[in-house]
Structure 1
Amino acid sequence: MKLHQLQALVASADSGSIRGAARQLGLSQAAVTRALRELEQEQELPLLIRTPAGLGFTPYGKTLLAHARLVLNQLEQANMEMAGLRGLAEDQVKAAITPWLMLTVLPPAVVAFRKKMPKVKLELFESLMANAQSQLREGTMDFAITPLPALMAPQEFHCEPLLDYETAVMVRHGHPLSKSTSIHQLLEQDWVLNYTPENYDDLVRQLFSRHGAQLDPHRIIHAHSLGMSQAMVESADMCTWCPALLAGLPQLAGRLTPLALQESCDPVRLNIVTRRNSILSAAAHALIDALVRQLRLQTRSARQEDRRIFERVRILI
């Protein structure tokens, strides 16, 4: 496979047509067509589906497209890092941080990082794994700090354990069922949860089935941000399952009530997740170091507010 062939493949997918790919790459349509035809011939597999509505991809084409994006993104990262070393370009880091770290550790860590590397461009995302997963796969994100479904770790991603934290079922302050003592009392309620297709079954097992409970799947609302989940809990009387320390955050004080249920869930492991075999830049390593350093400071803090938040957290790094 040649670089120009992979570029033609990705540009065709992004633009949806040969004409659009040619315009994006600054080539003739004939050159793009030739590159794609050569790629199909070399692989001895049909990669594209040509229709009057535009280009589509066969299953073989979709597989190769995913790898092509990774290759091109890795090359772009290498070019940017080398240009940065020559003083010709700014380095940048794209990272996704799980919401409760975003509300606690992230702000002071970013301040410390920017003092050390003021010219690095930062792009930060709220990391629920369902959101970060696709960007990590494509190589458009450097790392994510997030729980990682066990089935995904060996195949696609490298994960370094960061910490374990306890979880709790929660409702809004003053909810009619805030005195519930069993998950079985909550099966007629709507739930707002975050999950990926890979960890949905494990989530249901953790919360319900291993305790002999069964929740109608239609009662589960799939939310992709902390703000959305919080709105559903507070304004729609839904139940949620989340890090137990959220109830101690100043931003959420008096708004969430953890339920004292007789059924318990296993601690959740938070990982530093990267795409397997990817190479992190010096700036990405520096941001991770700043986050870990701040996390250690706050977990060892004597302040009552920090103790209330981090008492159910166990650092692993």
Structure 2
Amino acid sequence: MTPAQLRAYSAVVRLGSVRAAARELGMTDSGVSMHIAQLRKELGDPLYSRGPSGLVFTPGGLCLAGRSAEILGLQRQTAIEVGQAGHGRRMLRIAASPLFAEHAAPGLVDLFASAATNLSVEVSVHPVRRFADLVASRAVDVALGPRAPDKRGQLSVCPFLHYEVLTVCAADHPLAHTSPPLSRLREQQWFLGPSAAAGDGPMRHMLRGLGIPDSHKRVFPSDASAIEAVRQSTALTVALRYAVGDELFDGTLGVVDGPDLRADGDWCATTLARRHLQPATTELLHIITTPHCRQAMTRSAGADITHYTPHTHVVRWN
């Protein structure tokens, strides 16, 4: 099996057709088909057939789909590590959920990168549902955010920070420090950051439970910008307790009470099994549970909106 064959097969699996795979890889359809034919011959397995609703994979084809992603990820990681080593540097690639990326990643990475030697850190923002595939394929070294579903049982999960989500409003809002009925909450305007509007953590689940109509939601590019807009309006929002702690203390924001208006969760570090980790990942797992690191993450709450772009943002610390 060659990397070119595995790339072709992985693209067919992911995109569902030879033509789409060829277009993505910049090849001809016949070139992709040739790679697939060579794999079938070498492995003695048809890998997949075409059914009425798309490709139907054999058990061997499904096995190769997972292995090809893992092998190609390992190849990419090796190329990066060799290149970094040749220049005396190492690379740590982190996938982060939108909420973690905005409120905790800056403090964590600043602390870790300043303590580690010859290290570059790359942070990319992804939905939690992609964590398992990103880590298993070695596209990233560690995923930070809510616990990721692991259907294959291949991953190691280390909880490191508990957090609480509150419903807040301007201090002079009529609902501040009250427990309004659900009907009243559904009448309100809600200003939401990306984690609450389209994430897959406690904020999103809480809003779904409340049944807030989409027509009453306005989405902002960051949680920080949503909170700032709420401070100057009659809207409500959901926020991390530690992100709005100063505003709650000085009275510029108020809490809307109620059992359905609070949620909590744990941020976790998701990695491969410990024996497969590169040294930089092991170093991160060691520091991430320390009180010093927890303080750095919570102190950095509310990154400046100009330095945060959800879903696609990649930041490197050197």
TM-score by length of 1: 0.63
2:240 to 227, 243, 251: 243
Shift of 1:237: 5.1
> Does 1:166 find its partner at 2:170?
no
SS at 2:73 equivalent: helix
Equivalent residues, number: 283
SS at 2:157 equivalent: strand
> Does 1:44 find its partner at 2:40?
no
Shift of 1:239: 3.0
Structure 1 218/130 Cα, relative in aligned 2: closer, same or farther at 3 Å? farther
Uncovered stretches (5+) of structure 1, i.e. residues with no partner: 50-56, 300-304, 310-317
Conserved? CA contact 1:94–1:123, under 8 Å: yes
Aligned partner of 1:226: which letter? D
Shift of 1:279: 3.1
Shift of 1:217: 6.1
Distance in 1, matches of 2:67 and 2:232, equals 43
**Residues 67-105 of structure 1 deviation map (CA, whole Å, 9 limit, x = unaligned):** 5333201232134435655x4574211214466766676
Shift of 1:169: 1.3
SS at 2:48 equivalent: coil
Percent identity between the aligned chains? 17
The within-5 A match list for 1:103-142 is: 106-107=105-106, 109-126=108-125, 129=128, 135-136=134-135, 138-142=137-141
Greater shift after overlay, 261-270 or 98-107? 98-107
Aligned to 1:189: 188
Aligned to 2:93: 94
Shift of 1:123: 1.1
Aligned to 1:273: 270
Aligned partner of 1:94: which letter? R
Conserved? CA contact 1:171–1:233, under 8 Å: yes
Aligned partner of 1:241: which letter? V
Conserved? CA contact 1:106–1:291, under 8 Å: no
Greater shift after overlay, 62-71 or 241-250? 62-71
Conserved? CA contact 1:108–1:294, under 8 Å: no
Structure 1 95/65 Cα, relative in aligned 2: closer, same or farther at 3 Å? same
Structure 1 32/173 Cα, relative in aligned 2: closer, same or farther at 3 Å? same
Aligned to 1:9: 9
**Residues 38-74 of structure 1 deviation map (CA, whole Å, 9 limit, x = unaligned):** 335644243689xxxxxxx736489965653332012
> Does 1:18 find its partner at 2:16?
no
Shift of 1:146: 0.9
Aligned partner of 2:166: which letter? A
Aligned to 1:144: 143
Distance in 2, matches of 1:145 and 1:277, equals 16
Conserved? CA contact 2:108–2:293, under 8 Å: no
TM-score by length of 2: 0.63
Higher relative contact order, chain-length normalized (CA < 8 Å, sep 6+): 2
Conserved? CA contact 2:177–2:256, under 8 Å: yes
